Structure 1
Amino acid sequence: MFLETLGSALLGLALAWAASYRLPHRLPSRSLVLSTGVAGALFGAFLTHTALGSGHFLAILVGAAAVSAALLSLLLRPEERFRRRSATA
């Protein structure tokens, strides 16, 4: 159980770091992105562990990565070039 928690937290941190490195202009502050990635991975590991039980280490890491990526995608802002201005502005 300890290795699942540690592995999922590190996986969430790595995903969040990669997202903040790759898309810094579309994400809020780095500390929010990193904490969201780790929290999402821990929650995903908890959900997957609850659904499958122990002994499915790789499946738990996949669940952790999926929930972490989903939460990180909610932080993305639209790009500037696609914003439309109203005619009155």
Structure 2
Amino acid sequence: MFILIAEMVLKYGFDNDVLAWWSPVHGLIFMVLVAATTNLGFKVGWPLTRIGLILLGSCIPFVAFIIEQRVAREIEPRIADKVMTA
């Protein structure tokens, strides 16, 4: 995200496109995040509204970090239980 901010400052503030390559990479990373979140949501049985709200929250800068902590706190015990029983 910080590289994207630097790109915006360089592009619109100084008319410099040195980091223009970053936008498509950032978009690809976000698409991977969407796929991973959707996959996790279906595996743990979340309703579509929850998956949608999590994805919507990931569009707001720094909110994604808060959401990630909450989801990890919920999911990690489930994963640990499955590993212990396997």
Normalising by the smaller structure, the TM-score range is 0.3 to 0.5
Greater helix share, structure number: 2
The structure having more radius of gyration, on CA atoms, is: 2
TM-score normalised to structure 1 length: 0.38
Relative contact order, CA 8 A, sep 6+: which one is greater? Answer: 1
TM-score normalised to structure 2 length: 0.39
